[in-house]
Amino acid sequence: MNVLKLELNRAFVNRNMLISLFIGIILSLADIFLFSKYYLSQDMVLVQAWIGTNYFFVYNSIFFALLPILACLPFGGSLFNDIESGYDKNICIKVSRMDYISSKCIATFLSGFFAVSVPLLLDLFIVAGLFPNKQPELLCFMVGGATLDCNLFSEVFAYNASLYCLVYILTDGLFAGAIALISLAVTKLSGSFFTVVVVPFVLYIFQGLVMIGDSNGNWSVLGMINPTQQVVTKWYQMLIAYCVILIGSLIVSILYNRKRDIL
């Protein structure tokens, strides 16, 4: 029995994935509509119009605030649903617990990556057809933030602004996948599907507000994954934050399911 293939199919072919993609795409299209309405006739470029770096409207803030919901909704609550329905018992009769939970983790990570990166990538493709792919003016706020103040991926931004967007889409997708795994890790403490999906969001917002950056750097995940880089982030801070989320969630999920009485 190919449990990984089964879990991947469940992760990508379900109503919650469609809902998550719909929310992300609607936010992207709304941002494109407003930016085009007010700035299409002006001397604006692709990197200024993309939702990830467009600080003119609120949709950037909404998208990155809701990122955990978009990441966790597709498959983050699947372990809870499996336990409630008894589905896990039927699966673990045919495969080992380790095969089951490892496949669950892979599918959850990839579903979170997909649900967040696709709207960002689609937005970039659309604005690429509306605005020229050139470097922005040197005196604009974005250039100062990316190359002078925050430094993260500053060489990429200086070389090619659209490549900077693609690097951040990959980065945000990886963080989304790791955040989706938090849902699996908190399943034991959750009493409903809603709780499983919302707990990572609450932790994300709380941590993001409490650990917001200063001149010494930034430990706020909410701040570091936003491509506008309104707070200073060092590369090692992003790497440490990512490893803590990813490895911590995996360890808790695996240990919980190894000890849990399934059969």
For 4-27, what is each residue's pLDDT tens digit?
999 999 999 999 999 999 999 999
Spatial separation of the C-alpha atoms in residues 87 and 79, rounded to whole Å: 9
pLDDT at 93: 84
C-alpha R_g of the chain: 19
- Locate 41 and state its tokens: 């006739």
Region at 131 (left for phi over 0; alpha for psi -120 to 50; beta for the rest): beta
Higher pLDDT, 214 or 62: 62
pLDDT at 159: 85
pLDDT at 139: 46
- What is the percentage of the chain residues whose pLDDT exceeds 90? 63
Closest of 183, 185, 137 to residue 161, by C-alpha: 137
244 pLDDT band, cuts 50/70/90, is very high
Average pLDDT over residues 119-135: 93
pLDDT at 263: 59
Other residues' Cβ atoms within 10 Å of the Cβ of residue 159: 11
Residues 6+ apart with CB under 8 A from 199: 182, 183, 186, 189, 190
Higher pLDDT, 103 or 232: 103
pLDDT at 91: 85
Q: What is the CA angle 128-149-125, rounded to 5?
A: 10
- Locate 140 and state its tokens: 């604009």
Q: What is the pLDDT of residues 177-193, one digit of tens each?
A: 999 999 999 998 888 99
Q: What is the pLDDT of residues 163-181, one digit of tens each?
A: 999 999 999 999 999 999 9
Amino acid identity, residue 158? A
Amino acid identity, residue 89? K
Higher pLDDT, 69 or 260: 69
* Lowest mean pLDDT, pick from 28-37, 122-131, 152-161, 244-253: 152-161
Spatial separation of the C-alpha atoms in residues 211 and 238, rounded to whole Å: 13
Closest of 107, 123, 29 to residue 74, by C-alpha: 107
- Host H or E run for residue 118: helix 97-128
* Lowest mean pLDDT, pick from 30-39, 41-50, 119-128: 41-50
Residues 6+ apart with CB under 8 A from 182: 68, 72, 76, 199, 200, 203, 245, 249
pLDDT at 144: 47
Cα of 227 vs its chain's centroid, Å:
12
> Which 3 state secondary structure label does DSSP give 214?
strand
Higher pLDDT, 68 or 83: 68
CB-based contact 237:217 (threshold 8 Å): yes
Other residues' Cβ atoms within 10 Å of the Cβ of residue 10: 20
* Lowest mean pLDDT, pick from 37-41, 55-59, 77-81: 37-41
> Which 3 state secondary structure label does DSSP give 217?
strand
> Which 3 state secondary structure label does DSSP give 95?
coil
pLDDT at 262: 64
Highest mean pLDDT of the ranges 70-74, 99-103, 138-142, 149-153: 70-74
Spatial separation of the C-alpha atoms in residues 58 and 46, rounded to whole Å: 18
Averaged confidence pLDDT in the chain: 89
pTM listed for this prediction: 0.93
Q: What is the CA angle 160-214-229, rounded to 5?
A: 25
